[in-house]
Amino acid sequence: MNPVKVGIAGLGTVGSGTVNVLQRNAQEIARRVGRPIEIAHIGARRDNPDCDISGVRLSRDIFAVATDPDVDILVELIGGTDTARELVLTAIRNGKHIVTANKALIAEHGNEIFHAAHENGVDVAFEAAVAGGIPILKSLGEGLAANHINWVAGIINGTGNYILTEMEQGGRAFVDVLKEAQELGYAEADPTFDVEGVDAAHKLTIIASIAFGIPLQFSKVYMEGIGRITIEDVKSAAQFGYRIKHLGIARDTGNGIELRVHPTLIPIETMLSAVNGVMNAVMIDGDAVGPTMYYGAGAGAEPTASAVVADIIEMGRALTVDHEERVPYLGFHADQMSDERILTIDDVSCGFYLRLHVQDKPGVLADITRILSDNRISIEAMVQKETEEGLVPIVMMTHKVLEGDMNAALAKIAALDTVDKDIMRIRVETLDA
């Protein structure tokens, strides 16, 4: 049988993992595909001692792989957006199918790439772009295809989860833990992408499109990182029975779609709250299946290669099938996409955790609670912490409130002379617990 010929662009962590998995499991993979997978060409600026590519054609110019007539599938593992976009579009124009692990590329340029792929009759697969080794896109687009998806909520950035876990369990400082995540190879090239929620927003954009059949709309994701979370917040959340996790949430409210990534208090008894360290986990709630959960390594060489190689296998099987007859790029047919509106964060309703530092004198609490009630905000629980020098910390949990009302109330509270302007608020989600 003729082999499926694969060209790999990029030989970093995921590239070397992909080479190793393809080589180590070659026989089993050939049995699954019905024909062998051959690495025909690798494009990489540098060699990688973590894999053996002897005997494989190697080019320093990655575009040589995208135009190589011998390559059936281009595997894009260079990361970034500008060159990766150019490379993928070049490969598509040259009739190659595409496998990529690049979440930024798909979230920001996916609509353009799918259009070009459709015009050229080729396929694009990107399972590895979201939650590494967890087959979450296939679960959404195929395994759960019978369902109307109600919501998806996930821990989809391992670096952020590692930092929050270490802060909670080890009482360690933020910077110290981030450095370790970088050394372990989990953090993005620019770790602010992890810390500020950009990485999670890229992944949520992709998840939401496959969940709801909407175009990729990265610019509409509300984004907040973990940079302002303190050990005090972590401890206070625990006292109320919650843990702080950085979640990506996509929800179909029936009146628009919520797309948001931010730190979130979730009840300690939920399964997501037990997901620690660099692990990822995603909950999907479908109308037929109910709540489901998927857990695993969200980054790293071989976990990510597991998803890359699965996409290569799927394409290898379907190489002779017309692309219109395969699973659509986003799980829904391109002419059947919904234009359901994406809600702004002001339209989102949820409970809040608030931490304020106030002067310890009569009437201060009364002023705060009056402002909250004037804005239709009801308090669920409140604790005044031990007196520090000067200001007293107050932490409270509210019932569900519209974000716009909370913003209005917090602006008025921050304007009080008796309250420190640096007020912390973290959204609360019960995940139907």
Footprint on this chain of ligand HSE (rule: CB under 6 A): 132, 157-159, 186-188, 194, 199, 298-299
Q: In degrees, to the nearest 5, what angle opens at C-alpha 35 toward C-alphas 33 and 37?
A: 85
- Closest distance of CB 132 from ligand HSE, Å: 6
Tell me: is residue 373 an annotated ligand-binding position: no
CB of 258 to ligand HSE, least distance (A): 22
Structure tokens at 76: 């894009």
Strand order in the sheet with 4-9: 57-59, 37-43, 4-9, 73-76, 97-100, 124-125
User: Is 180 among the annotated ligand-binding positions?
Assistant: no
To 10 degrees, what angle do helices 231-239 and 158-170 make?
A: 80
Nearer to ligand HSE, 127 or 194 (CB): 194
We find the least distance from the C-beta atom of residue 128 to ligand HSE, in angstroms, to be 9
Where b means 16+ CB within 10 Å and e means fewer, 214-232 reads bebbbebbbbbbbeebeee
Q: Which is nearer to ligand HSE, 66 or 156 (CB)?
A: 156
Identify each DSSP E strand in 94-184 by its residue range.
97-100, 124-125, 149-155
Q: How far is the CB of 120 from ligand HSE (least distance, A)?
A: 28
**Per-residue burial over 158-193, b = 16 or more CB atoms within 10 Å of its CB, e = otherwise:** bbbbbbbbbbbeeeeebeebbeebeeeebbbeebeb
Three-class SS state of 57: strand
3-state secondary structure of 194: helix
Is the Cβ–Cβ distance between 134 and 296 less than 8 Å? yes
Tokens of 379: 């308090």
Instruction: Say how far apart CA 301 and CA 169 lie, in whole Å.
Output: 26
Rounded least distance, CB 251 to ligand HSE, Å: 22
Structure tokens that stand for 56 in this block:
């494989």
Would the annotation count 349 as a binding residue?
Answer: no
**Is 165 annotated for ligand binding?**
no
CA-closest candidate to residue 285, choices 296, 299, 297, 270: 270
Catalytic residues: 203
CA distances, 364 to each of 33, 331, 411, 418 (Å): 69, 54, 16, 7
Based on CB atoms, which residue is closest to ligand HSE, 102 or 398? 102
CB of 83 to ligand HSE, least distance (A): 19
Integer angstrom CA distances of residue 365 from 403, 405, 413, 432: 22, 19, 10, 32
Q: Report the amino acid identity of residue 61.
A: D
CB of 186 to ligand HSE, least distance (A): 4
Report the distance separating Cα 107 and Cα 138, nearest Å: 17
- The response to whether 14 counts as a known ligand-binding position is yes
The answer to whether 13 is a known ligand-binding residue is yes
CA separation, residue 367 to residues 358, 395, 430 (Å): 11, 15, 29
Q: Is 188 annotated as a binding residue?
A: yes
Asked if 246 and 263 touch (Cβ cutoff 8 Å), the reply is yes
Per the annotation, binding residues for NADPH are 103
Per the annotation, binding residues are 9-16, 103, 188
